[in-house]
């Protein structure tokens, strides 16, 4: 089994542009899932924004990004980056989720999502925002 920790960058309508930029800079490939594709559109004007995005490059470079919906606060310099922990199996990630949940504020309950068999978000007792999921091939 393997677990990876990846920077997760947060934007307001610029995630696709940033992912494409980072992909071009690193020789990687950008993968983008929009709010509309995932059935998570809160506002019509956010339908084409990124709910899940990542760049994977042959040299090992990996970054994730999404567009925070208008309903969630986003202030530059405050929570710009999440720590994304990606595992190979639901069982592996569940154990880590349960441990990190101790004293945490759950932002998104852990369970299946449109892009992963298991996904969740929490702010741990130290104020660090973690996004946990099971990685799938794209």
Residue 112: phi, psi to the nearest 5?
Answer: -60, 145
Decide if pLDDT at 6 tops 80: yes
Could you name the CATH architecture of 3-134?
Roll (3.10)
Asked if residue 2 has pLDDT above 80, the reply is no
User: Is 0.85 surpassed by the pTM of this model?
Assistant: no
**Is 36 a residue whose pLDDT tops 80?**
yes
Q: What is the DSSP string of 35-57?
A: HHHHT--SSGGGTTSEEEEEEE-
pLDDT at residue 24 above 70? yes
């Amino acid at each position: 089994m393997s677990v990876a920790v990846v920077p997760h960058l947060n934007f307001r309508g610029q995630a696709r542009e940033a992912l494409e930029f980072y992909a071009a800079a690193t020789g990687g490939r950008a993968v983008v899932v929009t709010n509309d594709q995932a059935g998570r559109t809160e506002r019509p004007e956010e339908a084409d924004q990124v709910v899940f995005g990542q760049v994977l490059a042959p040299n090992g470079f990996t970054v994730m990004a999404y567009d925070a919906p208008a309903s969630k606060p986003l202030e530059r310099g405050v929570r710009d980056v999440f720590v994304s922990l990606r595992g190979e199996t639901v069982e592996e990630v569940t154990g880590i989720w349960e441990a990190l949940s101790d004293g945490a504020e759950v932002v998104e309950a852990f369970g299946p999502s449109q892009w992963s068999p298991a996904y969740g978000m929490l702010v741990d007792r130290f104020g660090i925002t973690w996004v946990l999921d099971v990685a799938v091939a794209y």
